[in-house]
């Protein structure tokens, strides 16, 4: 960290201000939240601090391409069957008590959005996406490797994707992450556009959190959640990066998170979790394909492997168990669908599974069923007798 950044960090800590986050570990002081923008502060029982920030003064609007952006509170159009506040049948959470700071019945006031106080290092940097890195990992930094177990669906024109993920708390080593997520991209190449959403565990949180991420230049730069500019948050009830509850138990009750990512009539890419629209990425953030429809969708798990002490990481993916253990023991995605031109939904029947190192983390695509639609099991323990 530079001396300038250290001074900025120290000053902000003393003033109890929220920090801005940039991509490379250096604090960007153009993205800081001014104290007069904070309308309320909430502390959860696990120690999280949530600042309720004026929705018109959120960090998203610091992005140079959004300086004159007009806030859009709702999508201009919905895909067929995805009406406002619709949920999947298996995870209808009407009360939305899904984060620790909700337990006292507290939400941010109207006209504000919740932003978790955190530091850049809480969220390890992403460097690539599954299909680009499955053989070479050419974008990963020295000593680090991205490991994946994903199902993918290439095509011509995708206007969104949806599905359900069961939520776990995999063991995660320092400086690493374990994520289960969607990727909606323009198909690849070194300058890929990608929007991503799911749940993630890092050694800092040691608990699953909801996250969003985007890049417009092949991960040379990229951005988590709302601390950096780009993602426009519209929801006052869900704080990105805050603890997600409840979680699944091995051999016991399973808890699901329904996710929808879709493009509205204005070209904005919206994120919906548990029937709640969280916000959107405006199309002019992107340099390439995501100014229009996507051409590749991926669902699955990602682990950042730092190769600690020269061996494969023991960071777990999903439940930490292989897909062969199946229901209530292995992690899974189900009811996978994609959105076509005109807003119709299609089952993702033609997905293909791929794992970078099946002996460490694997995937098993299942035959579609009436109850679960298109689905797969995935995950693994990392370091083991077969994964070295």
Catalytic residues: 196, 302
**Tokens coding 379:** 């995950």
- Compute CA distances 356 → 5, 104, 175, 178, whole Å: 37, 43, 20, 15
Least Cα distance to 330 among 362, 299, 369 occurs for 362
- End-to-end CA, the chain: 33
Least Cα distance to 183 among 223, 215, 138 occurs for 215
DSSP reduced 3-state for 384: coil
**Tokens coding 306:** 């730092």
Question: In sequence order, what DSSP letters do the residues of 117-179 get, joined into one string?
Answer: ---GGGSPPP---HHHHSS--TTSPTT-EEEEEEEEEEEEEE-EEEEEEE-------TT-EEE
Residues 6+ apart with CB under 8 A from 275: 85, 86, 87, 92, 93, 258
DSSP reduced 3-state for 213: strand
- CA 186-20-218 angle, 5° bins: 20
């Amino acid at each position: 960290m530079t001396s300038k950044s250290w001074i900025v960090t120290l000053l902000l800590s003393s003033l109890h201000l929220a920090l801005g986050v940039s991509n490379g570990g250096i604090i960007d002081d153009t993205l800081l939240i001014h104290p007069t923008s904070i309308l309320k502060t909430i502390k959860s029982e696990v120690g999280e601090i949530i600042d309720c920030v004026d929705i018109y003064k959120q960090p998203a609007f610091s992005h140079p391409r959004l300086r004159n952006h007009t806030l859009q509170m709702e999508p201009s159009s919905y895909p067929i069957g995805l009406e406002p506040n619709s949920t999947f049948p298996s995870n209808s959470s009407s009360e939305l008590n899904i984060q620790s700071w909700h337990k006292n019945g507290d939400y941010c006031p109207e006209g504000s959005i919740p932003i978790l106080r955190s530091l850049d290092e809480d969220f390890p940097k992403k460097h690539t996406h599954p299909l680009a890195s499955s053989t070479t990992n050419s974008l990963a930094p020295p000593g680090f490797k991205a490991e994946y177990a994903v199902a993918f669906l290439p095509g011509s024109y995708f206007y969104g994707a949806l599905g359900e993920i069961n939520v776990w708390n995999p063991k995660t080593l320092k400086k690493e992450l374990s994520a289960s997520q969607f990727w909606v991209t323009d198909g690849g190449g070194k300058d890929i556009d990608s929007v991503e959403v799911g749940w993630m565990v890092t050694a800092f949180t040691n608990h699953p959190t909801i996250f969003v991420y985007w890049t417009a230049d092949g991960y040379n730069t990229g951005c988590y959640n709302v601390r950096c500019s780009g993602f426009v948050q519209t929801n006052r009830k869900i704080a990105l990066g805050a603890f997600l509850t409840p979680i699944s138990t091995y051999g016991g009750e399973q808890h699901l998170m329904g996710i929808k990512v879709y493009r509205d009539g204005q070209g904005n890419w919206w994120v919906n979790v548990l029937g709640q629209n969280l916000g959107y990425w405006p199309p002019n953030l992107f340099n390439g394909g995501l100014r229009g429809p996507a051409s590749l969708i991926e669902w699955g798990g990602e682990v950042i492997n730092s190769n600690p002490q020269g061996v494969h990481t023991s960071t777990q993916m999903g439940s930490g168990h292989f897909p062969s253990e199946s229901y209530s023991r292995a992690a899974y995605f189900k009811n996978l669908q994609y959105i076509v031109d005109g807003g119709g939904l299609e089952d993702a029947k033609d997905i293909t599974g791929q794992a970078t190192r099946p002996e460490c983390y694997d995937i098993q695509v299942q035959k579609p069923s009436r109850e679960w639609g298109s689905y797969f099991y995935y995950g693994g323990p990392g370091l083991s007798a077969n994964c070295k």
